[in-house]
Structure 1
């Protein structure tokens, strides 16, 4: 009897270890992409822990199937149904790991909403993310895109991350150097694209805190307010107000934020363009390159407010493409390609989309 009970217990333990992942079929992805574009996932698995990823990897069917990792869906354009198994990352959690003399180290689950985390850190008295307020998406997607705004990028506040390999199920940790951050770029867009799921991100919030107010729009807000030394909460409020003034709320008008990257050119290329278009908005960078304002070029080509079907260029900001209601992915991409050709024809610059097109 004891042997039978032990065998049954062992079988129970083994079955718990090989519990298959909960698979949802025929799932509409319209609520899971900020553009509000229609698409269906043939199979979707919600990832709330490292163990959930391992269950997918160990599954005899899902383990071999193509996979797509989905965070907040704020940086994708869906042009078709998804034959891949969609891994919807919903890992929760927020905690202070360490209060060092030079920084607060904060660990956050990859499924947490980015702006909610910015607000939470400020409420805890841990400033440093205020310039990145109101950026849509999840924490796990932030290092993939190396999100940035108003003079700050994620890499400036990054400590490390945890991820799980989609081939082996093994966990690993990456520091900033191995993430190979670039302008809206990282190793997760290149050699690790589709090969890993980020589950936790650790952020380094500097001590002592110093405000970053060099960006023109923030400097204007500061001058208007007449505040010589604004605190982090005040800067976050300014950033939120600026973003709401320029960018549509995805809950009201479907969009993926800035649709095109600001192109980088050499000083010689910039001088050539200035010779033809003296008013072009440009920003010299510390590395010697010059960043051109993609939105200004699109506006100069007359695209603001124009549409293809129900996809349109936002009337208030030419860098943003929007869903006026009922748009499909092919309309968005037809519009995007027409803008690219127009900008190339006038400026000789090929704009590169920021979102992932699927």
Structure 2
């Protein structure tokens, strides 16, 4: 292991923001991670555990130790006639893992194609897209207890998954580092095509026979058409969560905004698309210097190059205030501010 000093974090966050870590180290095994945590020189340092940097807004230099989690590997640990359990290291690139499953005909994960980030970060906020969430394919995960330095196993119930939520964002925040995740995938697929433009895109692609690859290809095409590639334009994907509001509030809103879309959560709650709210509030395509709101998807805040995290944070706050004033709905960020 090589602990470096004064390292630029620009290559390690998808916004492409310039910030410096006082100390930086990359770990590829659990033992290396333990050694870093036991190192007397860094025991008292603040620590930031970094995956793909796709859910991060760096607003300042990090005065502590950044630990890049690079634990790799994929292993089939169980199989029967209906299911397979695949364990993946936390440092595996999420989209590459999805492609591995698609290529091996392991179903259930295809709707989550092309989401940026790593396997280890995925359960932290229960990532989801096009009708599927991590909790739907999750079996268990292993995480290092930062106090005892023991690896513990967390079941589906232990993780307390919610909409872009888990126990690791709340009561266990800062207490564990996820080192591997095991997924329960299907040998016989159950296709989910009702959400978003999947059916429309499949038709445009002249798909006559459904397959997990066809759905994956459709999701990839949709995401590429709406979301900027972070390599070309700095961004973190969806910046805000889609808000969940009471059905009574939604009924009041559609009197003034009859085209407001909604997705039922239960008998009393609906989810409304944050991107629609932001667009209706006039932000889509907005640009201020080197930052802005993406022209094709208002849910995405962008860094065109040379912007800084505080500028993006202030833009996000303006967007939140405008939406609150217009609709009475508070938007909450998906990204973590550092």
TM-score over 0.5 for the alignment?
yes
Indicate conservation of the 8 Å contact 1:25/1:44, yes or no. yes
Indicate conservation of the 8 Å contact 2:105/2:212, yes or no. no
77-86 vs 94-103, greater mean Cα deviation: 94-103
TM-score (normalizing by structure 2): 0.97
Describe the SS at the equivalent of 1:35: coil
The gaps in structure 1 that reach 5 residues or longer are 1-20
Match of 1:91 among 52, 71, 76: 71
> Any idea what the Cα deviations from partners look like across 1:265-311, whole Å, max 9, x if unmatched?
11101001111211112111246410011111111111111123311
Q: Which has the larger radius of gyration?
A: 1
Aligned length: 338
Q: How far did 1:226 drift?
A: 5.3
Match of 1:175 among 155, 158, 166: 155
Counting only pairs closer than 5 Å after superposition, residues 9-88 of structure 1 correspond to structure 2 as 22-88=2-68
59-68 vs 175-184, greater mean Cα deviation: 59-68
Q: How far did 1:100 drift?
A: 2.1
Indicate conservation of the 8 Å contact 2:89/2:181, yes or no. yes
Indicate conservation of the 8 Å contact 1:37/1:327, yes or no. yes
124-133 vs 245-254, greater mean Cα deviation: 124-133
Counting only pairs closer than 5 Å after superposition, residues 237-252 of structure 1 correspond to structure 2 as 237-252=217-232
Indicate conservation of the 8 Å contact 2:88/2:182, yes or no. yes
Indicate conservation of the 8 Å contact 2:107/2:188, yes or no. no
Describe the SS at the equivalent of 2:199: helix
TM-score (normalizing by structure 1): 0.92
Match of 2:301 among 321, 325, 336: 321
Indicate conservation of the 8 Å contact 2:202/2:214, yes or no. no
Counting only pairs closer than 5 Å after superposition, residues 1-358 of structure 1 correspond to structure 2 as 22-225=2-205, 227=207, 229-286=209-266, 288-358=268-338
**Cα distance in 1, alignment partners of residues 259 and 108 from structure 2:** 34
**Cα distance in 1, alignment partners of residues 101 and 59 from structure 2:** 36
**Cα distance in 1, alignment partners of residues 163 and 317 from structure 2:** 22
Q: How far did 1:47 drift?
A: 1.8
Describe the SS at the equivalent of 1:105: strand
> Any idea what the Cα deviations from partners look like across 1:154-195, whole Å, max 9, x if unmatched?
110111111111122111110111011111111111122122
**Cα distance in 2, alignment partners of residues 244 and 288 from structure 1:** 34
The gaps in structure 2 that reach 5 residues or longer are none
219-228 vs 37-46, greater mean Cα deviation: 219-228
> Any idea what the Cα deviations from partners look like across 1:57-111, whole Å, max 9, x if unmatched?
2222322322111100000000000012111100010111111233110011110
Change over 3 Å in CA distance of 1:22–1:191 after alignment to 2: farther
**Cα distance in 1, alignment partners of residues 325 and 109 from structure 2:** 39
